[in-house]
Structure 1
Amino acid sequence: MVRFQFLRRRAAAGLAVVPLLLAGCGLLGGQEGKMAIDPPPDFLAEEETWTGSGSGSQAGAGSPDSQTPDGTESAVTPVTVYVKDRGGYLVPLTVNAAAASAEEAGIRALERMIEGSESWALPEGFRGVLPAGTRIEGLAIDRERRVAVVDFGGTFTDYNPQDERRIVEAVTWTLTGIADVDGVELRHAGEPLREMPVDGFPLDAPLTRAVGINLELAPGASYGNSMPVTVYFSALSDEGAPYFVPVTRLVERQEDQAVAALRELIAGPARGAELAAVMTEDVEAEAVTVDGDTAFVDLKDETYAEGQPLPSEMLQAVVLSVSENTGAEKVQIRVNGSTNVIDTDNRSYAEPVSRPEHVNALKT
């Protein structure tokens, strides 16, 4: 069996994916019944750089180290794929793949999303979302329109109706993580799809991340009068390593989408979800302003003392959530008006930090 390990990740300003360290109250507070999570012994401490990226992984560039079957030089490049965890959530996993182009990187990513794929074994607790036997017949990127066109074959249409939206979300978020891709068009056996083949999900326009991911309705909200916000909660792998899970929550319409997202991040996962909160309800989201490529986040917590280390995972979740909802490449976090913010790895957030290109990196 292939053994996978989650990599620790460090930002340009010093971020690392570490377990939740929530104890006490406020920004450092935990939830009743929750204990600090220690990483398993094989949890790696290798470093990776978090750099600016408005929409996720930038596949298609890397260092040459292999050749394709036709003898052309290939490159190892990180690709982020969206697969299903044991709780049924779509989760981004980032691995290295040999690809000579962005198109080939997209094909390699989709191949890894096929259930039972022989080209790549998933970690324990994760499953592919494309039906077993699916073939990726081709993928082209229209760079003028910034749209990836993917042609599926084989048993692509052999899935349960309840899995249709999950397939749409996973393919869309995977391919829009590639450089120069904002939208996705689907084909089957060479023919454009105007709707999904089983349950009729409409495909009359290119799919974008506006479709959401792991969609849920907030308490008190209605489908007819809501807006989406995407936030990042935490979950644990079968081996006890933490990973981020994006959730698009439909909330009551309001003026400031980024502040609304932070409030949902503070509210935590839905009741009964197999997800962990990264903040407590003692924290207040006061404001989010965007200036150029940077979003400025103002949090308030009366129990917080300046200079107290804050959980690394909490700060990373704020960066991911705010950048996802604003499109900002960098995020500056202020607590009680101060930028003197450090995390539990003693790394400073005094300057804006960049959104990571790759989330939940794995190493075989």
Structure 2
Amino acid sequence: MKHQYWVRTAAIAGVVAMLTTGCSVMGGGKKADIDPPPTAGADADAQTTSAAVTIDMAADNSAQMTVYVKDPKGFVAPVSLGLPKSVSVIKTTLENMVDGGPETSILPAGFKALLPKNTKVLGANVTSDKRAVIDFSKEFLNYDQQDERKILEAITWSLTSFPTVEKVQLRVEGKDLKEMPKGKTPLDTPLARTMGINIEKATDAEFGQSTPVTLYFLNQNDQNYKYYVPVTRLVKRTDDVAKAVVDQLVKGPDLKKGLTGVLNTATEVKSVKQGADGLVTVDFGSSKLLDTDQKVPGDALQSVILSLTENAGIKQVQIKVDGAVKITSTDNQNYTKPVGKPVHVNEVKM
């Protein structure tokens, strides 16, 4: 049933047509699990989003927020910025995803906000069923058709980064948006992360017989800013999503797209075990994993954790090497205990 739902969602967003034609991470902040969602009242944006902002408040009157923007290679990627504190962090987040928005000048070189210039956020409410209802001004419709899906991905993945939001409904000037006007993407149901991001298909997978897994690979701009890019890959249908994620990370990215893999393609995966409590334990062999200093690359470990916790039902990851939980990593983080999903990804240092 889940496979059918995802395929329907992907088809609605124009994925098939597109494909046939064509802890704080990476920053200096502390690692932490996402906070549990607070109790929210109906349509209470101020209440709901102000609770979410307690994830990470800085002392300089700013809050760490994640926006999804277009990177120099055209991928939709998360960037974590220190943005001004506000009552409605959802509204502030979206305003900083508008081309020419108040803080878009602090994006890394080559990154571009996807929402059209002069777009205004007229309303941003979160309902009791974790649905963010976003009302844009008419300028939202002044976008390039080639960016239509990227815009939807950016909005959906940015807002569902908040623990109080699971789906997104779009309006323009107070009226529900039934479809995107240029590419005709239907919006008859709220958007969710099940739509995927930067979608691609494995060569041995078929559209009607596939399972989507989201993987995090590395990229870098021309100013040596290194960051993770999420890619939803359709793979041969499987019920063991955790193993599929790790196997695909070992397989690596599509080299034609310019991303960098995080694991040696000869890395040995001894076991991937998922418990009923949402904990996945991954045991790697050391021979192709350790660097010359006998350390595990921190980028690889963070990518494994990001990728696994992005997929449904996985809350924490325990990394082992040759059966041992005591690991020396290049990022000097402690991986002896299970690690949860990072709050912020690709933090930009000011």
Is TM (by shorter chain) over 0.5? yes
Residue 305 and residue 98 in structure 1: after superposition, are their counterparts in 2 closer, same or farther (change >3 A)? closer
Residue 325 (structure 1) aligns with: 311
Residue 64 and residue 323 in structure 1: after superposition, are their counterparts in 2 closer, same or farther (change >3 A)? closer
Residue 215 (structure 2) aligns with: 231
The correspondence for 2:254, drawn from 252, 270, 288, is 270
- CA deviations 1:124-151 (Å, max 9, x no partner) are 1100111122111111011x21110000
Aligned residues, how many?
312
CA distance in 2, matches of 1:248, 1:359: 17
CA distance in 2, matches of 1:97, 1:348: 29
CA distance in 2, matches of 1:77, 1:255: 39
Residue 145 (structure 1) aligns with: 129
CA distance in 2, matches of 1:168, 1:331: 29
Determine helix, strand or coil for the equivalent of 2:140. Answer: coil
Kindly state the Cα deviation for residue 118 of structure 1 after the two structures are TM-superposed: 4.2
**2:52·2:164 contact (CA, 8 Å) conserved in 1?**
no
Determine helix, strand or coil for the equivalent of 1:362. Answer: coil
Residue 54 and residue 263 in structure 1: after superposition, are their counterparts in 2 closer, same or farther (change >3 A)? farther
The amino acid that maps onto 1:82 is Y
Kindly state the Cα deviation for residue 166 of structure 1 after the two structures are TM-superposed: 0.6
With normalisation by structure 2, the TM-score equals 0.82
Residue 60 (structure 1) aligns with: 53
Kindly state the Cα deviation for residue 296 of structure 1 after the two structures are TM-superposed: 1.4
Alignment of 1:1-364 (within 5 A): 11=23, 17=26, 47-53=28-34, 59-61=52-54, 63=57, 76-101=62-87, 104-121=88-105, 122-142=107-127, 144-285=128-269, 286-303=271-288, 308-364=294-350
- CA deviations 1:230-267 (Å, max 9, x no partner) are 01000112211211111111111012111111111111
- CA deviations 1:151-177 (Å, max 9, x no partner) are 011321112222111111000000111
CA distance in 1, matches of 2:182, 2:194: 22
Residue 201 and residue 49 in structure 1: after superposition, are their counterparts in 2 closer, same or farther (change >3 A)? same
**1:124·1:238 contact (CA, 8 Å) conserved in 2?**
yes
- CA deviations 1:179-238 (Å, max 9, x no partner) are 311110000111011222221212122211111111111112121211110010001122
CA distance in 1, matches of 2:198, 2:119: 23
Of residues 49-58 and 154-163 in structure 1, the stretch that sits farther from structure 2 once superposed is 49-58
CA distance in 2, matches of 1:54, 1:244: 22
Q: How well do the aligned residues superpose, as a CA RMSD in angstroms?
A: 2.6
- Gaps spanning 5+ residues in structure 1: where? 1-10, 18-45, 67-74
Structure in which a larger fraction of residues adopt helix:
2
Of residues 156-165 and 342-351 in structure 1, the stretch that sits farther from structure 2 once superposed is 342-351
**2:33·2:342 contact (CA, 8 Å) conserved in 1?**
yes
Residue 138 and residue 206 in structure 1: after superposition, are their counterparts in 2 closer, same or farther (change >3 A)? same
- CA deviations 1:98-126 (Å, max 9, x no partner) are 2333xx21111111111232443122110
The amino acid that maps onto 2:259 is L
CA distance in 2, matches of 1:147, 1:123: 30
CA distance in 2, matches of 1:55, 1:249: 28
CA distance in 2, matches of 1:63, 1:51: 13
Determine helix, strand or coil for the equivalent of 2:89. Answer: helix
Of residues 209-218 and 116-125 in structure 1, the stretch that sits farther from structure 2 once superposed is 116-125
Residue 218 and residue 65 in structure 1: after superposition, are their counterparts in 2 closer, same or farther (change >3 A)? same
Structure in which a larger fraction of residues adopt strand:
1
Kindly state the Cα deviation for residue 317 of structure 1 after the two structures are TM-superposed: 0.3
**1:235·1:275 contact (CA, 8 Å) conserved in 2?**
yes
Determine helix, strand or coil for the equivalent of 1:296. Answer: strand
CA distance in 1, matches of 2:163, 2:208: 34
CA distance in 1, matches of 2:228, 2:132: 26
Residue 92 and residue 305 in structure 1: after superposition, are their counterparts in 2 closer, same or farther (change >3 A)? closer
Determine helix, strand or coil for the equivalent of 2:80. Answer: strand
CA distance in 2, matches of 1:224, 1:361: 37
Residue 347 and residue 134 in structure 1: after superposition, are their counterparts in 2 closer, same or farther (change >3 A)? closer
State the identity as a percent.
Answer: 36
Determine helix, strand or coil for the equivalent of 1:114. Answer: coil
**1:54·1:324 contact (CA, 8 Å) conserved in 2?**
no
With normalisation by structure 1, the TM-score equals 0.79
Of residues 227-236 and 303-312 in structure 1, the stretch that sits farther from structure 2 once superposed is 303-312
